[in-house]
Amino acid sequence: MRIDVMTLFPAMFEGVFSSSILGKAKDKGLVELNTINFRDYTKDKHNSVDDYPYGGGGGMVLKPEPLFEAVESLTDSVKTEAMPRVILMCPQGEKFTQKKAEELSKESHLIFVCGHYEGYDERIREFLVTDELSIGDYVLTGGELPAMVVIDSVARLLPGVLGNETSAVTDSFSTGLLEYPQYTRPVSFRGMDVPDILLSGHHLNIETWRRKQSFLRTLERRPDMLEGLELSKEQMKWKQEWLAQHNGRDEQ
Ligand SMILES: C[S@@+](CC[C@H](N)C(=O)[O-])C[C@H]1O[C@@H](n2cnc3c(N)ncnc32)[C@H](O)[C@@H]1O
């Protein structure tokens, strides 16, 4: 996969693109990561990327010309089978989810556009980008951190990027549920013990325990994720047990 990021602050990506799993994926040639400073595509003597908003008001607005030219320079020069998705990072966009990460991980080329200042000229939104993504209902100063979040979660899904392929499969959200609790050595730490079942060596029982913990954890922390889901027989049983236990507690 090739990923290009349009940003006014390419230095912000240096650490993220060269460290940990992303850095290794880049070194192994599993993902190509580039930053493009769209200020390089300005034509005026002050290299202006933003201007005052028409109609007045505070804050500056990103001009369309440098961003259009920067993106077009890529789409003209990079030959991909399909046109790349051009993703605008934006608090008004579709909320980013694991499902979206999975969808984007199937593309061969992604272009991210990071804003700064108050906003974008609306023509960028309407005529340049194919997607608008938000990482949550809060406002950051720029699109760089949100783009890093999206790129990290997409890149780790690419074949070969995670050493242990199964770990992405059991991750929270990939299964539609939150992940079950995990333990490692020591068996006993300050009087806190690893559940016996995990030490039993009985794989079938361990699998059932994990499925149950995963379901109960989702029920307790993120009941919204279970809405509209058809529960299996075992999940219905676990839910009834849980409700009986919790109603009992409420009445005490
Ligand atoms: C200060 S924000 C602009 C917010 C804009 N005035 C609005 O109300 O929608 C500057 C830039 O940060 C990025 N940004 C801020 N919060 C974000 C979020 N939750 N998700 C994605 N990008 C975000 C976007 O690239 C945005 O253009």
pLDDT digits (tens, 9 = 90+) for 18-66: 999 999 999 999 999 999 999 999 999 999 999 999 999 989 999 999 9
pTM, two decimal places: 0.92
State both tokens at 82: 């399909």
Is the pLDDT reported for residue 198 higher than 50?
yes
- For the chain, which domains are there? 2-155 (3.40.1280.10), 188-251 (1.10.1270.20)
Q: Which residue positions form the known binding site for S-adenosyl-L-methionine?
A: 115, 135-140
Predicted ipTM beyond 0.95: yes
Q: Kindly report the protein residue whose alpha carbon is nearest to atom 27 of ligand 1.
A: 115
* Active site positions, annotated: 91, 118, 156, 171
**Residue 142 CA to ligand 1 centre (angstroms):** 6
Protein residues whose CB sits closer than 6 Å to any atom of ligand 1: 89-92, 114-116, 118-119, 134-136, 138-143, 146
**Residue 94 CA to ligand 1 centre (angstroms):** 12
Q: Kindly report the protein residue whose alpha carbon is nearest to atom 1 of ligand 1.
A: 141
